[in-house]
Amino acid sequence: MDSPAPPSLDLVFMALADPTRRAILAMLLEDDMAVTDVAEPFAMSLAAISKHLGILAAAGLISQEKRGRVKWCKLEPDNLREASIWMQAFGQFEAVNLDAFERFLAQELESTPSEA
């Protein structure tokens, strides 16, 4: 039996684009959680949280399992690997220090004679 294809990078980034879904993933870093426990800190309906969980599941970032009458969510961190590898390719560039750049520009503007 073949293992399922990994979720597309587009689905992963779409799922990560929403702050509620990122917060849910951060919560699931600690431990598996029941859907009702996931929903508790958010000011939205259980149906809205369920939609967010469905998007995370479709992206392969979480799995859901029914245990008795309770649906549990589990983080699937391995499915973030492809997105992480893609993002690390951009790590070769130094982050721009905007404060230092601003100081450099101010200094350059002061030292150049103004054209009147």
How many angstroms separate the Cα of 65 from the Cα of each of 36, 43, 75, 90?
Answer: 13, 24, 12, 36
What structural domains does the chain harbor? 9-111 (1.10.10.10)
What pLDDT, in 10s, does the model give residues 67-87? 999 999 999 988 888 888 888
3 state SS for 74-114: EECHHHHHHHHHHHHHHHHCCCCCHHHHHHHHHHHHHHCCC
What pLDDT, in 10s, does the model give residues 15-25? 999 999 999 99
pTM given for the model:
0.72
